[in-house]
């Protein structure tokens, strides 16, 4: 395995990880910002008010995006398995 091939594998891995994590992180950030804004406007400082909407939003997003995420992971795994012979060289 030459350094260019290893660099390409790592680049693909990082792009895949960022692609899969971005929707979840953005959803948590937007919900957290909205809840924080609501709490500061209404002066309600309840801990469960920040936790419950984030959990509900993320679980519903995961249910919605699960087919895409699984398809993407299977395609990535298939591509890595087909590159195994090139790694041995």
Give per-residue pLDDT as tens, 3-25: 888 899 999 999 999 999 999 99
**pLDDT(47) > 90:** no
pLDDT tier at 44, thresholds 50, 70, 90: confident
Please name which of 26, 31, 29, 33 lies closest in space to residue 65, comparing C-alpha atoms: 26
Chain centroid to CA 74: how far?
A: 15
* Arithmetic mean of pLDDT over the chain: 92
Provide mean pLDDT across the span 53-61.
Answer: 95
Per-residue confidence (pLDDT) for residue 24, from 0 to 100: 96
What is the spatial distance between Cα 8 and Cα 5, in angstroms, rounded to a whole number?
A: 5
- Which residues does 50 contact at the CB level (< 8 Å), separation at least 6? 32, 35, 36, 39
- Regarding pTM above 0.85, the answer is no
């Amino acid at each position: 395995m030459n350094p260019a091939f290893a660099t390409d594998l790592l680049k693909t891995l990082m792009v895949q990880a960022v692609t899969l994590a971005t929707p979840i992180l953005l959803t948590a950030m937007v919900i957290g910002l909205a809840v924080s804004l609501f709490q500061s406007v209404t002066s309600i400082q309840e801990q469960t008010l920040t936790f419950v909407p984030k959990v509900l939003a993320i679980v519903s997003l995961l249910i919605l995006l699960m087919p895409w995420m699984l398809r993407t992971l299977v395609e990535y795994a298939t591509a890595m398995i087909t590159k195994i012979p090139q790694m041995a060289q």
